[in-house]
Amino acid sequence: MADTKWNVTDLPDFTGRTAVITGANSGLGLVTAEALARAGAHVVFAVRDLARGGAAAARVSGSTEVRRLDLADLDSVREFADAWDRPLDLLINNAGVMMLPEQRTKQGFEMQFGTNHLGHFALTNLLLPYLTDRVVTVSSGAHRFGDQAIHFSDVNLRGRYTPTRAYAQSKLANLLFTLELQRRLTEAGSPVRALAAHPGWAATNLQSHHGNPLMRGAMAVGNKLFAQSDRAGALPTLYAASRDLPGAAYVGPDGLGEWRGAPTLVSRSAAASDPDAARRLWTLSEEMTGVEWGLKPVSRP
């Protein structure tokens, strides 16, 4: 049953805690950053554009800092992680791209899979030695779209690319990543938890980049007629970031079709619950990024 009375005002005190939020300069990331900063957290804006990130952080009431991170460039991911030198309570893998025309990351990966999954996979593993509480990865109900499969023979979808297929694959990857990350954390005896969340249909600028102009128009209309606000859309992420939930839990809205409503635990597709696919994806992701399981001791100042 949904915790229907839960809202951002019910966040616990985050004083003394540090949170990194990818894509914190706009949309759901900015709303999440504002809420955690108001609750006392020191919020690190991990953003591609330092000027935009700085402008966004300046509007937030609370303790913030801005660091550059381009998830579509694994060199940038490594630079961000190499510069990290203190305990980290909360990592929110929020940033993402949605239904773009076919593009490639700096390392040549399909842009949506490379940004939404591989960039966060590498970042999480590189920061794991510093993490003390939890990782929350933002997925989507779109993981149920289309093929509902990771195309292991070619995750870059050469010759088979469509904006929706690529987006659905990347969001399915987010859930399989969370599943396998939690399995590994449990096996290692770590207190850190991996969770996932999705915002339902939230009105943000993410929907404005679809490769098909007709779909862009349809999404704009849908945002006006059906979508909930970005503040409501951020609630599942904040719920996952603050509530005492089991590892690998998935949080979304409780309304019809999980489009809108109060945050609650929701189910995922059978494809997103497949432990064999999760292990296989993990191995492939290590090969593609060159980043391996990150829970290893590091020397700290």
pLDDT at 218: 46
Q: Alpha-carbon Rg of the chain, whole angstroms?
A: 18
Whether the Cβ atoms of residue 280 and residue 152 lie closer than 8 Å to each other: yes
Whether the Cβ atoms of residue 31 and residue 234 lie closer than 8 Å to each other: yes
**pLDDT tens for the 301 residues of the chain, in order:** 444 578 999 999 999 999 999 999 999 999 999 999 999 999 999 999 999 999 999 999 999 999 999 999 999 999 999 999 999 999 999 999 999 999 999 999 999 999 999 999 999 999 999 999 999 999 999 999 999 999 999 999 999 999 999 999 999 999 999 999 999 999 999 999 999 999 998 755 554 444 556 554 444 444 444 558 889 999 999 999 999 999 999 999 998 888 888 999 999 999 999 999 999 999 999 999 999 998 865 444 4
pLDDT at 221: 44
pTM for the whole structure: 0.90
User: Which is it for strands 131-138 and 193-197: parallel, antiparallel or unpaired?
Assistant: parallel
pLDDT at 70: 98
Active site residues: 167
DSSP string over 155-201: TT-TTT--HHHHHHHHHHHHHHHHHHHHHHHHHTT---EEEEE---S
DSSP string over the chain: ---TT--GGG----TT-EEEEETTTSHHHHHHHHHHHHTT-EEEEEES-HHHHHHHHHTSSSEEEEEE--TT-HHHHHHHHHT--S-EEEEEE-----SPSS-B-TTS-BHHIIIIIIIHHHHHHHHGGGEEEEEEEE--GGGGSTT-S--TT-TT-TTT--HHHHHHHHHHHHHHHHHHHHHHHHHTT---EEEEE---SB-SGGGGG-SSHHHHHHHHHHHHHTPBPHHHHTHHHHHHHHS---TT-EEEE-SGGGSSSSEEE----SGGG-HHHHHHHHHHHHHHH------------
pLDDT at 2: 45
pLDDT at 4: 52
C-alpha to C-alpha distance for 157 and 154, rounded to whole angstroms: 6
pLDDT at 5: 74
Q: What's domain 8-289's superfamily in CATH?
A: NAD(P)-binding Rossmann-like Domain (3.40.50.720)
